[in-house]
Amino acid sequence: MGHGGHNILTVVMNEKGVDLEGALDWLEKYNDEVISEFQAQRHMLPSWDPDMDRVVNEYVERLAYCVRGHDCWSFESGRYFGTKGREIKEHRLVTLLPRVTKPGVTPTTVMAPSESGPAKCLDTLVN
């Protein structure tokens, strides 16, 4: 699944040991938590002085625009959804293609994190 195992769904499936639906559920929850935390922190920014407050608020607002812009781009660019991006953005339904296996390519395998360090991704291409 994904681009050589670098798709966020593939990563979550490997890291969390869940299937596709479990990965989607986890990502939805994680996304909601991150957005909620961002908004909460945004509203708790301290005040310095009117000029600095304006600069900080503008910067944080642009951070939010960056995230929103990436979301819009992913639907409108054609990269992920072809010509159906706007329709998928509206309905949030994606028809998955059937799984295709390619000779000489092994699915990505991720080793579980150990006490000695983070998880390590194994090379997946076989010549």
What is the tens place of the pLDDT at every residue in 51-86?
A: 999 999 999 999 999 988 998 998 999 888 889 999
3 versus 127: the higher-pLDDT residue is: 3
Report yes or no on 30 lying in a domain.
no
Report yes or no on 103 lying in a domain.
no
Report yes or no on 44 lying in a domain.
no
Number of domains in the chain: 1
Q: The whole model's pTM is what?
A: 0.64
- What is the rounded CA–CA span in Å between residue 109 and residue 49? 52
User: Which helix (H) or strand (E) element contains residue 64?
Assistant: helix 50-76
Report yes or no on 77 lying in a domain.
yes
In sequence order, what are the beta bridge partners of 121?
A: 110
Distant-in-sequence, close-in-space partners of 11: CB < 8 Å, separation ≥ 6? 5, 110
Helix (H, G, I), strand (E, B) or coil at 94: coil
Containing domain of residue 65, as a range?
52-92
Report yes or no on 56 lying in a domain.
yes
Report yes or no on 109 lying in a domain.
no
Distant-in-sequence, close-in-space partners of 126: CB < 8 Å, separation ≥ 6? 104, 105, 106
Report yes or no on 66 lying in a domain.
yes
| Most distant CA atoms of the chain, gap in Å | 63
Report yes or no on 112 lying in a domain.
no
User: Which helix (H) or strand (E) element contains residue 22?
Assistant: helix 20-43
User: Residue 93's pLDDT is what?
Assistant: 87
